Chains A and B, each alone.
Chain A
Amino acid sequence: MAKEKLFEVVDLRISAYDDEGVEVPIVRGVSFDIHKGEVVALIGESGSGKTTISLASLAYTKPGLHFTGGQAKLYGKDVLTMAPLEQREIRGGNVAYLAQSAAATFNPAITIGEQVTESAVLHGRLNQEEATKRALELYHALELPGADRIGLRYPHQVSGGQLQRLMAAMALCGKPDLMVLDEPTTALDVTTQIEVLKAFKKVIREENSAAIYVTHDLAVVAQIADHIVVLYRGEIMEQGSADQIINHPTHAYTKRLMEAVRPRPESGMGVDASGDHDRVIDNIEVRNMTAGYGGIVDGEPVIPILKDINVSVKNGHVVGVIGESGCGKSTLARVMAGMLQPARGDIILDGKTLEGALKNRNLDELQKVQFVFQMADTALNPKQLIGNIIGRPLEFYHGLTGREKHAKVAEILEMVELPAAFANRYPMELSGGQKQRINLARALAASPEVMLCDEVTSALDSIVGANVIKLLTSLRDKTGVSFVFISHDLSTVASFADEIVVLYAGRVVEQGPTDEVLEPPFHPYTRLLISSVPEMRIGWLEDTMKRREMAVGIARGVEITAKGCPFYNRCPLAIEGTCQTLIPPTLELENGHQIACHLTLEDLQQAEADAQRILLGYEKLGHDDPQIHVP
């Protein structure tokens, strides 16, 4: 190969020691190479050792792990046997690390700018002035809002998605030879993910650096990797070029991973649950609701989040709420649950208007609406037995005690497909997926009519997440409970929701039955979201960037506007003079499908046809004119 070999892992072995001092091998003899300008992806489920292997390039192991054999050679020199001082020069100098959770990896007490430039300056790769200048260029390249001043801010002052991009800036600032990217886009919205992937590809190409990309998401891998290493329990199952692994996998495990990839959201995926549990009245409904934070002045919230929301959930239905982070999805659930009092509007449960504030609701009303939080780790009290966690709502709402309570706890555990013996365990003894089941069981114990699930599968890996979705579906079928399922992951929502509500900047831009929403005509924003979900196809990223909704939609951020359509600045079909000043009317289509847009149905259908044509003959239209007007 003509390219210079940059990094080489030879028969790497890493072990942990258990309580009795017995060696437990975590990585068992792994070898692969990385050349300049190349991205090597390490893929596998959680527990496959992919992060552990990637950290070897920094001569680092998590506490409790030890290198027991093999080499990790950077420019032919083994980093594992270097002196500590030399290893320190490698870390952050030649090799930069980018962690999965940016929110935890930024130091809360230091400004963003100092943290971004720190390692570049410390290792003498740039002086402070150059580093600050380079950081500024990166902020602009990564489309960070308020890029000129963002370096002066503290981590808590910017959003999670922005922090993730800032961390990319931190890794890129010192122009490292090799970047270790550990699930860098897993926590991001699909639209932001595209942006970050684009930025990585660009930097690696332009600066002829290289990267180790750690992920479980094959669709993402297909976009960025040149070479793929498939891992299972610390061993390589298969490795080869991206084309070879994605298009012609040979190992059974690789094929299994492929099958677990969630299908792209398409029409026809929706579940039709109408019939079985339908009642005439809606189960829970939100009418003309406006809500926000910071108190209410003159009937308007000081920091408005949601505006004029109308959503209704029918009995036994699953309503998926999707939108980018910050669009108000969680706020909607919090208002329904009574945790946030709306400034205006009504919440109606079984035809009866509910009090806005939790403390004014009666026991019966509280019992009917239950909330399931995203992080089971923080939602479950670590000092309480599972039996007590599930038993508490049984006691509180249903007055069950003693043997009756125990029997019911066992029954509920069975419903979430866990053995009854789990009642005597503590949350920390369970796996992530099991904890999420307990989290659901706790809500279920109240025998609610509505369960509000806030990103309940987002922290789980795809196989475990898919099992939780299966469980939710069966619970719905058995108990007739309705779900409000909040997620930024369109594929998950599409695979199990009866209806979808698309939120953008605190407004409902489109809603209706799943099949209708996922089928043209689309609201321009829904189209952007759907087009942003990666396909497991090499070259998809490049192709999709040619779509015109991408040209404007991806590059610009959300602007909260008081008037007009909030999506105006990112919309390829925006009508000059109308969209930014007038609140869009609602187009009523078949089966209760609604789109809030100034364009007519014909316009939207025409746009869809154009979009297909433009995608095929893109070059003719040119890249710089996103404002193509529909005839």
Chain B
Amino acid sequence: MMTRMVMQRIGIGFATLWVVSVIIFVATSILPGDVAEIVLGQSATPETLAALRAELGLDQPWYVRYFSWLGDMAVGDLGISKAGGATISSLIGGRLGNTLMMAGWVSVISIPISIALGLWAAMHPGTWLDRIVTFGTLSLISVPEFFIATIAVLVLAVELHWLPSTAYMTGEESFWELMKALAMPLITLVIVVSAQMIRMTRAGILNVMSSPYIEMAILKGVPRGRIIMRHAFYNAIGPIINVIALNLAYLVSGVVIVETIFAYPGLAKLMIDGVQTRDLPLVQACAMIFCGTYVVLILLADIGSILSNPRLRNPK
């Protein structure tokens, strides 16, 4: 049963990606003007336009263009940036690396902190420390991330001069210099994603804590720490995995504001640049990468939830 459910989820994942590809293709197609016009700009004449369109395959019917685009995408050929002439793969490559590095560091720091704080708050509900955590996380969720970023710049860079205010990287710095360059966006993002994960962990655990089997554990004299870690956590793990997956996906695709503020050369910023220069193949490629990330992470979260459920793991 479990294998079937997992296969089903993977199938749904592929179907979602396909639907997304159609939407992206259609959305970018209905925008006025095409790449040929953008490339030629002022110097466009009907003849040069027609010639360029023929060269780029833009005169083909839409379904031919769609399938050749999809086919190229599937084998990793993201096409050529129509604005600059470079391959999109080379443009994206470095940026994707930067984005993944940032997402990786943020996850490594925020996930353990969030789960620990969430568990800790759930263990002491109603105490003043729990209230600080609940109130603090709620405030941080309500505040827009550029505000947190601005405050961080104001305090850490302008007032204290501890850290640089931009995340400029040359590619030749030492590990320490790299950390220093990354520190500001890193701190901002850790704060943003942790708040939500802490709240979800706390809420998930507290929800389970009102079950009769937790009361039974109390009546068996199980210490509170063990009740939380062994009896409650295993039953709350499904929703926690899901909120982690959503936050990881956000770290890949949703961090454009933070990247802009700190001038961090990430993928989201590249996509915005693509929109500004109307570099449609680049926008399409970025959009597909973001959607793919979401689909894969949510798929992993679903599979994690299935695996953590003993009813599905051990059928009757």
Report yes or no: A99 in contact with B316, Cβ–Cβ below 8 A.
no
The prevalent SS among residues of B at the interface is helix
Q: Contacting chain B: which of A86-94, A241-249, A349-357, A381-389?
A: A86-94
Most buried by B among A58, A88, A107, A123: A107
How many positions in chain A have a CB within 8 Å of any CB in the partner chain?
Answer: 29
> Which residue of B213, B218, B219, B314 is within 8 Å of A104 (Cβ)?
B213
CB contacts (< 8 Å) of B226 on chain A: these are 122
A64 to chain B: closest CB distance in Å? 12
CB contacts (< 8 Å) of B231 on chain A: these are 107, 109-110
> Which residue of A60, A106, A119 is within 8 Å of B213 (Cβ)?
A106
Report yes or no: B222 in contact with A60, Cβ–Cβ below 8 A.
no
**Given the complex of chains A and B, what is the CA–CA distance between A349 and B231 in angstroms?**
50
Contact count band on B: 20 to 34
Report yes or no: B220 in contact with A91, Cβ–Cβ below 8 A.
yes
**Given the complex of chains A and B, what is the CA–CA distance between A470 and B230 in angstroms?**
48
Given the interface pairs A108-B311, A157-B316, the reply to whether A91 lies near B218 with Cβ below 8 Å is yes
CB contacts (< 8 Å) of B230 on chain A: these are 110
B81 to chain A: closest CB distance in Å? 51
> Which residue of A93, A105, A109, A154 is within 8 Å of B216 (Cβ)?
A105
Within 8 A of A (CB), among B25-84: none
Within 8 A of A (CB), among B222-280: 222-223, 226, 230-231, 234-235
**Given the complex of chains A and B, what is the CA–CA distance between A101 and B215 in angstroms?**
12
**Given the complex of chains A and B, what is the CA–CA distance between A243 and B8 in angstroms?**
64
**Given the complex of chains A and B, what is the CA–CA distance between A156 and B316 in angstroms?**
7
Does B221 lie at the interface of the complex (its beta carbon under 8 Å from any beta carbon of A)? yes
Given the interface pairs A154-B314, A156-B310, A157-B314, the reply to whether A107 lies near B220 with Cβ below 8 Å is no
Given the interface pairs A109-B235, A109-B310, A153-B314, the reply to whether A104 lies near B221 with Cβ below 8 Å is no
CB contacts (< 8 Å) of B222 on chain A: these are 92, 118-119, 122
Report yes or no: B219 in contact with A97, Cβ–Cβ below 8 A.
yes
Does B127 lie at the interface of the complex (its beta carbon under 8 Å from any beta carbon of A)? no
CB contacts (< 8 Å) of B155 on chain A: these are none
CB contacts (< 8 Å) of B223 on chain A: these are 88, 122
Given the interface pairs A110-B231, A110-B234, A156-B310, the reply to whether A105 lies near B221 with Cβ below 8 Å is no
Contact with B along A39-78 (1 / 0, CB 8 A): 0000000000000000100101000000000000000000
Report yes or no: B220 in contact with A118, Cβ–Cβ below 8 A.
yes
Contact with B along A579-600 (1 / 0, CB 8 A): 0000000000000000000000
> Which residue of B218, B235, B314, B316 is within 8 Å of A107 (Cβ)?
B235
A238 to chain B: closest CB distance in Å? 29
Report yes or no: A119 in contact with B311, Cβ–Cβ below 8 A.
no
Report yes or no: A92 in contact with B212, Cβ–Cβ below 8 A.
no
A488 to chain B: closest CB distance in Å? 21
CB contacts (< 8 Å) of B215 on chain A: these are 105
Given contacts A92-B222, A107-B217, A154-B310, 18 further A-B contacts (CB under 8 A): A60-B218, A60-B219, A88-B223, A89-B221, A92-B220, A93-B221, A99-B216, A104-B212, A104-B213, A107-B231, A108-B213, A109-B231, A110-B231, A118-B222, A122-B226, A154-B311, A154-B314, A156-B316
